[in-house]
Amino acid sequence: MYHYILFDLDGTLTDSREGIFNSVRYSLEKLDRPCPPEETLLRFVGPPLWDSFMRYCAMTEPEARHAVEVFRERYETVGWAENRPAEGIVPLLRQLKEAGCVLAIASSKPERSVAPIAEKFGFLPYLAAACGSDGKNEAKEDVIRDAFARLGITETDKQHTIMVGDRCYDVEGAAACGIPCIGVTFFDFAPPGELEQAGALAVCATAEELQRVLLG
């Protein structure tokens, strides 16, 4: 059984598509840019936003960084609350904590948005830390390393540590930090096969499946 379990937030603990979609549309409208179709907007959930703006909206990096700033004008006032928890996730967090696991969020979302979302949906009582990015560097591996520091995870502890996320960025960030990652497809934000190709240890479609993998 894993002792330390790190969870991604968007697309893993919550379905945040409504707030992200609305805030991407807001940003692109203010910047007089065309908005991609909804199937493309799905790809904005999870990865660093600046990367998605570059990848899917043909922006340069400076343009993408500015688009993120405009995105946050809306997201950090109303968009963060336009989401819902994954089915069965709060009972799972409760079961894991009762089993002696140490739980934390490790999200690329700015940390100032992570705690309010975790509080809104009742995650906070089960968490030892709610880690996010500094709003500038959104690399998943940096957030994971920050979670290690806050939880006091040593090199030896890594063999008892795992990440849970819904995109290849979670799998790759975990691997860069020397830990495995379980992929989840609660909301199907990743293209088919992405998690497997990235090297996920397992892929779970429900909280019940995830519970069986984590607690064995």
SS3 of 68, please?
helix
Residue 95, phi then psi, degrees to nearest 5: -60, -40
| Side-chain half-sphere exposure of 103, counting CA atoms within 13 A | 24
CB 186 within 8 A of CB 86: yes
Query: Rounded distance, CA 100 to CA 77, Å?
Result: 36
Structure tokens at 176: 């860069």
Is 146 an active-site residue? Answer: no
Neighbours of 84 (CB within 10 A): 13
Residue 18 amino acid letter: E
Residues assigned a catalytic role: 8
